[in-house]
Amino acid sequence: MRITKFAIPEILFGRGSMAHVGACAAALGGETVFLVSDPGLAQAGWLDVVRGHLAQAGLTCVEFLQVQPNPRDCQVHAGAALYRESGADVIVAVGGGSPMDTAKGIGILVSNGGNIAEYEGANRVTHPLPPMLFMPTTAGSGSDLSQFAIITDVQRKLKMSLISRSLIPNISIIDPDFLQSAGRGLLVDSCIDALAHAVESFISTAASPFTETQARLALRLWNEHAERGCFAGEPAALEGLCLASAAASMSFSNASLGVGHALAHAFGGRFDMPHGGMHAILLPVVLRFNASHSPAKTAEILGLLFPDHSFAGPAAVEQGIALLYERFSTLGAPVRLGAVLPPQAKEQLPELCQAAVKDACMLTNPRPAGAEQLLEICQEAW
């Protein structure tokens, strides 16, 4: 077996675990917290809860709450400027992938300087970041456990993948109660992202026994809890989805992803689309594209998602892909590119694929692919 590594933060998991945020931030040496979040979480009342726990531990708070979905480079720069003025000594991010990725970008700039675009790609961060504690409020992005940050370069209209061991926070507090206030659309969008993380990292060329174990767990839990979590909001199912997302994140953070995420980053940067929804469109086609290069794993993935069927052989894979489309449609997710993009976007596909081919996620896709193959995937998904 080749040498592998597996890195994750300290994890607190379970309903009510958010109450420990103050003690955990203090244990990281923090006295002044730099709180990163978004207006939706403030409105839902969650930030008041977090502020209360921080105050109880004797911590003061400086807040940066202007984070938008698909976080922009300019927001990261504004946040870093505020952090430098604030005298903060620990970063706490509360939210989905956007506040957490913004917090990582701020951490990079305050300890490494320069422009965030300088850190695009793998292993470009040289100096350690300030202590970071993340509290995910969706079950999908996995940014609270991962080495990835995805930031939109506004001028180039693309999403940059920043990958570094330094981007793993010190502590992740995963409290499924946060999901109680998430709407169905957000639950569906984020849990399909988690599924894509499990699938793409499972077939990644960098997968190892450590990551494969987590990916299998994620697929099994996703199958058990997706519908009951998204439609009924059952606390046990939401907890299962949080666990699925965490397992998928442990897998992708260490094994990376593939063509689906490379394309989703290109589309998200150009059209400002919700990230998770892109995978309902791309994942079935991505599975078909890679099936010839990872036949056993493709059959295993489909078997974990549809345990009543067997999926050996190309015809059975096609049947599994049809079932996957059906399942995404039942969850209410659009499954064709043409349903979410204007007709004129079709002309931009070749250019988008040229951008996607440079994404770091391309490096670990099991089947080698260039811009031409990515274009075929997009046309098939249209």
Give contact residues for Fe ion (rule: CB under 5 A): 193
Can you tell me the distance from the alpha carbon of 335 to that of 327, in angstroms, rounded to the nearest whole number? 10
| Least spacing, CB of residue 265 vs Fe ion, in Å | 9
As separate numbers, helices (DSSP H) first and strands (DSSP E) second, the chain gives 15, 9
Neighbours of 258 (CB within 10 A): 29
| Least spacing, CB of residue 312 vs Fe ion, in Å | 29
Amino acid at position 4, single letter:
T
- Closer to Fe ion by CB, 101 or 193: give it: 193
| Least spacing, CB of residue 319 vs Fe ion, in Å | 26
Q: What are phi and psi of 92, to 5 degrees?
A: -115, 120
- Closer to Fe ion by CB, 38 or 193: give it: 193
- Closer to Fe ion by CB, 17 or 256: give it: 256
- Closer to Fe ion by CB, 110 or 163: give it: 163
- Closer to Fe ion by CB, 120 or 193: give it: 193
Amino acid at position 270, single letter:
R
| Least spacing, CB of residue 194 vs Fe ion, in Å | 8
- Closer to Fe ion by CB, 110 or 194: give it: 194
Tell me the residue ranges of DSSP E strands in the chain: 10-13, 32-36, 60-64, 90-95, 121-122, 132-136, 148-153, 158-163, 171-174
Can you tell me the distance from the alpha carbon of 245 to that of 239, in angstroms, rounded to the nearest whole number? 10
- Closer to Fe ion by CB, 175 or 193: give it: 193
| Least spacing, CB of residue 130 vs Fe ion, in Å | 25
| Least spacing, CB of residue 211 vs Fe ion, in Å | 15
| Least spacing, CB of residue 186 vs Fe ion, in Å | 14
3-state SS, 223-290, equals HHHHHHHHHHCCHHHHHHHHHHHHHHHHHHHHHCCCHHHHHHHHHHHHHCCCHHHHHHHHHHHHHHHH
Phi and psi based region of residue 112 (left: phi greater than 0; alpha: psi -120 to 50; beta: remaining): alpha
Question: Closest by alpha carbon to 102, among 50, 34, 12?
Answer: 34
- CA contacts within 13 A on the Cβ side of 262: 30
- Closer to Fe ion by CB, 59 or 305: give it: 305
- Closer to Fe ion by CB, 193 or 359: give it: 193
DSSP state string for 323-349: HHHHHHHHTT----HHHHS-GGGGGGH
Question: Closest by alpha carbon to 75, among 150, 126, 172?
Answer: 150
| Least spacing, CB of residue 136 vs Fe ion, in Å | 13
| Least spacing, CB of residue 350 vs Fe ion, in Å | 24
Give the three-state DSSP class for 62: strand
Q: Which residue is nearest to Fe ion (CB)?
A: 193
Phi and psi based region of residue 272 (left: phi greater than 0; alpha: psi -120 to 50; beta: remaining): left
